[in-house]
Structure 1
Amino acid sequence: MVIQEFPSGTSSAAKVSMAAFSTNGPMVSVQGTVPDFYNGKTVFITGGTGFMGKVLLEKLLRSCPGVLKIYLLIRPKRGQDAQERLQQLLCSPLFDLLRKDRPNDLSKVLPIEGDITQPELAISKNDIALLSRTVNVVFHSAATVKFDEKLKLSVTINMLGTQRLVELCKRMSNLEALIHVSTAYCNCDRSEVKETIYPPSIGPDEIVSLVEALDEDLVDSLTPKLVGNRPNTYTFTKALAECWLKDNKGDLPLVIVRPSIVLSSMDGPLKGWVDNWNGPTGIIAAAGKGLFRTMLCDKTKKADLVPVDTVINLMIVSAWRIASCKTKEIPIYNCVTGQRKPIKWNTFIEICFKYLRIHPLSDINWYPDGSVTASRSVNFFKRYLFHWLPAYLIDSVVWVTGGKPILLKVQNKLNKAANCLEYFTTQEWEFDDENVRSLSLTLTESDKTEFCFDVAKIDWEKYLENYVLGIRRFIFKEDTSSIPKAQRQISKLYIFHRLLQIVSVMIAWHFLALRYAPLRRLWSNALRLLLHLASMLPFM
């Protein structure tokens, strides 16, 4: 705890005012609500077309109706220009409520054509002048979230992209807040992570110079040594970006928000909304289809999962806070659940399977079932038995009958996704979130409700049911009207699943019985008893 000292003779009112402007002192309520702050403000968002960016955009429009304009950095892609991509984005079900109640508010969203990987973000001079003159709040969420991304590209997006954005922000004459989205796992080489920036083993400028000087193949060969104890280039470059920001932010009103593993939305406008296969979502979706049955995971460890709207609410509020309470320090917020609302991996898996059976997917391949293990050898055996062997057999039959085999390709992708998650499912961290708790104390009661980021209020059972329903609705595009038919299918598959288990046990027992005389006698007696019971069934 930091004890703040004031000059002698300072009045009580002055002390309260000075404390409000200190990130280390007591957190007190500041004047005005969060929506009031955004009245007449212009916002610039990078990563606005991504999962978190869409939720941020929708929440700003819906809960801060006084916002003046929102500019999105959008890269032309697949023959679509920035305007076309924006219109496609706004057609998402996420914006249905806004389209119904306040359709004119969608016109506040304007595209800025650019590219986070290019010098000056590939933004035209006219647009740079526009942003420099008008923007008040910047949310920087653009990043490559691929865990296995090559270091050169990861540096280009996560580090150089951040540096280029900071250069642009320094030209913004009316900037009041810059929110940088990092990750709680950028310091995953530590078991205990405070809300502070830790110095990396190698400086960000050295990494940038190295990556720019060497060809990609050489960089790839050096990557394991450069990354060190971290599991991937994503966490490595995110840590470097934080370090660079600390040394180069200048007078920018910067905040860093660090979410842990981000899942679907918890509350409105769409409970369970998710639009990507990242993280556990792809694994849960595959398990629901009956394609995934084993994974390396220590089920006794905490799964630090956080709803996407919880992260977004924290981001929006943190911008209000830094604009209201100026500070030269960098407020850092670990948006995590492990301290206040922990859930173990086994509980997460059990609840997901429960609702995958209650609200089953359509056209599933097999009954949703499976387990996790902390043993690599056991997982290796189960993976071949339950993943590769069935895929190989089914693909062989499909190939012989003239079809197109796909299951082996699917299992390859699932295996790759599972390998990326193993580091996080076999360890746990203690993430400090004291700054987040303190920030909550500065809010009015109405803001605490509208922009809730209090993870203690999460009801995991209810939330994960909506998560499964969200996967069904938004990933597989299945309506709830198809659930009764899917339930009939899963009931049949359950019978086949149990019969197969019984037959497998009987076969295994039979082969064991052939080797040992006592087991042979027990096996013979069991068979005679089963035959006797079967002969009595017609007369019962």
Structure 2
Amino acid sequence: MVSEGAHIMSDLNTSMTGDSVSEFYNGKTVFITGGTGFMGKVLLEKLLRACPKVSKIYLLIRPKKGQEARERLQQLLCSPLFDPLRRDRPADLRKVEAIEGDITQPQLAIGATDRQLLQRTVNVVFHSAATVKFDEKLKLSVTINMLGTQRLVELCKRMDRLEALVHVSTAYCNCDRYEVKETVYAPSIGPDQVTQLVEALDEDLVDSLTPRLVGDRPNTYTFTKALAECWLKENREELPLVIVRPSIVLSTIYGPLEGWLDNWNGPTGIIAAVGKGLFRTMLCDPNKTADLVPVDMVINLMIVSAWRIGTTKSKDLPIYNCCTGVTKPIKWKDFIALCFKYTRKHPFSEVSWYPDGTVTSSRLVNTVNRYLLHWLPAYMIDAIVWISGGKPMMLRIQDKLTKAAGCLEYFTTQEWKFDDENVRNLVGTLTEKDKKEFCFDVAKIDWENYIQNYVIGIRRYIFKEDAATLPKSRRNISRLYWAYTALKVISVLCMWRFLTLRYAPLRQLWSNALRILIHLVRMLPFV
């Protein structure tokens, strides 16, 4: 029960900072980079739904595969995520406009007219455009994650009405240290030095130098994100800048669609393969903390952090670690167990084998398991398909899964302590209404319910499977369970029989066990 004093303090905080979060966006113009990505879509939908008086939202979109920016915007708005808005408030979707551009190009490849429009009207900027590929080449990663950020900042400094700039980083940009505070850590090599080096050398030479430049970090993504933070701190000048650092981002926890997601990133691709019966072993320390966070909690924090700096006019650089490991931890073993539980309760269609498997912190054991449980069945299935005139594909699938699992191994075999004091303090500045509407308090996560919706979301939004197919899928998973159980029993008996043939004591034990079993059966009343 919340005390009266807590209510008074919350109201006092709000009166000190100005309008409520939603009211702050009344009449505001927002500019979003990365709007076509997973987080960008959730951000766009939340702004339209929870801040109904927002004036205009511009999305930076590059032409792609013959589609113009406006065509890509219309395709984006056809996502199921926008179905409730399209049904209840279709006019609000017309507030969204595409700005043709490219984060990798000078001046973001934005035309002169559009640049003037943005400079004259934009109040809030959300910068989430980035390459999130862990194995991206350093030259491209620097171009997008660093140079793209620098070009955006140049544009922001010319915006006459800018009140907030929210930069989306990652909690793992400082994964070379165990304890990560909400502060910017200086990298071992300066961002300008890396930029000059990458621009001066050809790509092959940059590739050969990458391991030395990246150092203790596992990939170019975390490295360039750290460089971008450092550059922002040194060059922000008077910009009202905020940095938000999410950990591993999964599906939505709240509305409008619980469990919504639209990509295979992070653990999602692995869990999808587990549910299909294609993936059964992974290198992972089951007792380490899995720092997972729902995407809409990250988005709510971004929206609120813009409100906070826009209303307080702070000259500080607020940094928010949007993580769960300290406040609401879950171990990898518990996450995996719940994923198995719900891939069996809500099975996917066309499952190859019963969802099961193991995680181990031993590389040797994982390698042996991978050859026995992944590659050997893949070779056998592909051989049968090839002989029958079909197109083999299991080896290709296992190759992709192995690479995806390899990218995650660094994060599943270690853990970090991400301090989130700034996030918890920010919660305290909100009214009860805003705490509910823009919830980013990870202490409220019910992991079991959330992971169940996550698995259902993979089924519904990744595999596009209707709920009406569940009865058939459950009958299939039941058959696979009995087949899997029978196979395990037969395997154990065969192994035991093999051992008893070679060793006399075991053979005698086998015979005695059989005699006792037969004797017990004969004593039963129906015999």
Tell me the TM-score normalised to structure 1 length. 0.93
Does 2:331 correspond to 1:344?
A: yes
Deviates more, 1:26-35 or 1:221-230: 26-35
Does 2:180 correspond to 1:199?
A: no
Name the SS of the counterpart of 1:201 in structure 2. Answer: coil
Distance 1:414 1:321, change over 3 A: same
**2:18 match:** 31
Distance 1:218 1:481, change over 3 A: same
> Do the aligned partners of 2:14 and 2:430 also contact (CA within 8 Å) in 1?
no
User: How many angstroms apart in 2 are the aligned matches of 1:241 and 1:488?
Assistant: 51
> Do the aligned partners of 2:14 and 2:20 also contact (CA within 8 Å) in 1?
no
> Do the aligned partners of 1:27 and 1:441 also contact (CA within 8 Å) in 2?
no
CA deviation vs aligned residue, 1:158-177 (integer Å, no higher than 9, x gap): 00000000001011010000
**1:145 match:** 132
CA deviation vs aligned residue, 1:244-301 (integer Å, no higher than 9, x gap): 0000111110000000000000000000001000000000000000001110000101
Distance 1:524 1:403, change over 3 A: farther
**1:421 match:** 408
Q: How does 1:342-491 map to 2 (within 5 A)?
A: 342-491=329-478
Q: How does 1:19-418 map to 2 (within 5 A)?
A: 29-418=16-405
Name the SS of the counterpart of 1:494 in structure 2. Answer: helix
User: How many angstroms apart in 2 are the aligned matches of 1:99 and 1:369?
Assistant: 40
> Do the aligned partners of 1:333 and 1:433 also contact (CA within 8 Å) in 2?
yes
Distance 1:75 1:529, change over 3 A: farther
CA deviation vs aligned residue, 1:473-517 (integer Å, no higher than 9, x gap): 000000111111100000000001011111111222222223211
Distance 1:27 1:229, change over 3 A: farther
User: How many angstroms apart in 1 are the aligned matches of 2:229 and 2:146?
Assistant: 9
Letter in 1 for 2:413: T
User: How many angstroms apart in 1 are the aligned matches of 2:49 and 2:383?
Assistant: 52
User: How many angstroms apart in 1 are the aligned matches of 2:514 and 2:212?
Assistant: 60
> Do the aligned partners of 1:294 and 1:383 also contact (CA within 8 Å) in 2?
yes
CA deviation vs aligned residue, 1:97-151 (integer Å, no higher than 9, x gap): 0001100000000000011011111110110011000000000000000001110
User: How many angstroms apart in 1 are the aligned matches of 2:87 and 2:487?
Assistant: 51
> Do the aligned partners of 1:29 and 1:444 also contact (CA within 8 Å) in 2?
no
Name the SS of the counterpart of 1:58 in structure 2. Answer: helix
Distance 1:528 1:496, change over 3 A: farther
User: How many angstroms apart in 2 are the aligned matches of 1:169 and 1:454?
Assistant: 30
Name the SS of the counterpart of 1:334 in structure 2. Answer: strand
> Do the aligned partners of 1:27 and 1:439 also contact (CA within 8 Å) in 2?
no
Name the SS of the counterpart of 1:462 in structure 2. Answer: helix
Distance 1:519 1:348, change over 3 A: same
Seq. identity, %: 74
CA deviation vs aligned residue, 1:307-351 (integer Å, no higher than 9, x gap): 000000000000000101122221000000011100000000011
CA deviation vs aligned residue, 1:414-457 (integer Å, no higher than 9, x gap): 00010000000001000000000111111111100000000000
CA deviation vs aligned residue, 1:72-95 (integer Å, no higher than 9, x gap): 000111111001000000000000
Name the SS of the counterpart of 1:298 in structure 2. Answer: coil
User: How many angstroms apart in 2 are the aligned matches of 1:149 and 1:61?
Assistant: 33
User: How many angstroms apart in 1 are the aligned matches of 2:343 and 2:44?
Assistant: 30
> Do the aligned partners of 1:29 and 1:443 also contact (CA within 8 Å) in 2?
no
Distance 1:382 1:29, change over 3 A: farther
CA drift at 1:30: 1.7
> Do the aligned partners of 1:265 and 1:309 also contact (CA within 8 Å) in 2?
yes
Structure 1 residue runs of 5 or longer lacking an equivalent are 1-15, 21-25
**1:7 match:** none
Letter in 1 for 2:107: E
CA drift at 1:522: 2.2
Letter in 2 for 1:381: V
Root mean square deviation of aligned Cα: 1.8
Name the SS of the counterpart of 1:498 in structure 2. Answer: helix
**1:12 match:** none
Distance 1:366 1:530, change over 3 A: farther
> Do the aligned partners of 1:29 and 1:441 also contact (CA within 8 Å) in 2?
no
Deviates more, 1:519-528 or 1:102-111: 519-528
Name the SS of the counterpart of 1:43 in structure 2. Answer: strand
User: How many angstroms apart in 2 are the aligned matches of 1:528 and 1:280?
Assistant: 50
Name the SS of the counterpart of 2:32 in structure 1. Answer: strand
Distance 1:228 1:532, change over 3 A: same
Structure 2 residue runs of 5 or longer lacking an equivalent are 1-8
User: How many angstroms apart in 1 are the aligned matches of 2:49 and 2:517?
Assistant: 65
CA drift at 1:526: 4.3
> Do the aligned partners of 1:398 and 1:405 also contact (CA within 8 Å) in 2?
yes
Letter in 2 for 1:315: M
> Do the aligned partners of 2:33 and 2:127 also contact (CA within 8 Å) in 1?
yes
**2:482 match:** 495
CA drift at 1:535: 10
User: How many angstroms apart in 2 are the aligned matches of 1:534 and 1:256?
Assistant: 71
User: How many angstroms apart in 1 are the aligned matches of 2:403 and 2:522?
Assistant: 51
CA drift at 1:520: 1.8
User: How many angstroms apart in 1 are the aligned matches of 2:122 and 2:248?
Assistant: 30
User: How many angstroms apart in 2 are the aligned matches of 1:523 and 1:200?
Assistant: 64
Number of aligned residue pairs: 517
User: How many angstroms apart in 2 are the aligned matches of 1:87 and 1:255?
Assistant: 30
